[in-house]
Amino acid sequence: MNASVMQFVGSNFAMKNKPFEFRIGHSHTVCKFISPETPVRYAEASGDRNPLHLDAEAATQRGLGGAVLHGMCSMAFMLSGLMLLCGESVFIRDVDLRFSFPVIPGEVVVFKYVVARTEPGRLEFAVSARNSAGREVLKNVRVGAVIRNSSQEHTI
């Protein structure tokens, strides 16, 4: 398989670049297709049945141009991509971000993960998230993670 693009069967995630290394500046890109069914599935799972996410006409009346993905679902996909990259070697400690532009079902969101900081037993990732048109959908994303099996795992 080509090392520059890897498709995860059944997950609609595609990855670019080589295996993730926990060095400052190392980056990895993950692409996620947002299926038209995603808002419906997320609404069922979360209980958030806001018409802006499920009813294109209602969303259009509010100036959105159609139904949009739940912001928390966008965040969940961003974190899922990071977990695909890191596997069981880390666990998420904290997340800070701003929802900046709606994600439209049918788009591909491109997540770029960069190791921004390392400390013994701890990592910080800076993440960018852009839609198919290149517009930032999540801004100022920082994800703190703890490296599993670190001697400082429980004290950070």
Does residue 2 carry a pLDDT above 50?
Answer: no
- Please report whether residue 80 resides in a domain: yes
- Please report whether residue 133 resides in a domain: yes
By three-state DSSP, how is residue 118 classified? strand
- Please report whether residue 137 resides in a domain: yes
Sheet holding 90-99, edge to edge: 6-8, 13-16, 27-33, 108-119, 122-130, 136-147, 90-99
Quick: pLDDT tens for 109-146.
999 999 999 999 999 999 999 999 999 999 999 999 99
Range 126-145 burial, b when 16+ CB lie within 10 A, else e: ebbbbbeeeeebbeebebbb
Question: Nearest Cα to 29, choosing from 6, 56, 60?
Answer: 6
Quick: pLDDT tens for 24-48.
999 999 999 999 999 999 888 998 8
CATH number at residue 140: 3.10.129.10
- Please report whether residue 51 resides in a domain: no
- Please report whether residue 100 resides in a domain: yes
- Please report whether residue 63 resides in a domain: no
Helices (H), 1-99: 38-46, 51-54, 56-61, 71-86
- Please report whether residue 56 resides in a domain: no
Structure tokens belonging to residue 5:
């693009």
- Most distant pair of Cα atoms in the chain: their distance: 54
Structural domain including 97 reads 6-36+70-147
- Please report whether residue 107 resides in a domain: yes
Query: Which amino acid, 156?
Result: I
Domains of the chain: total: 1
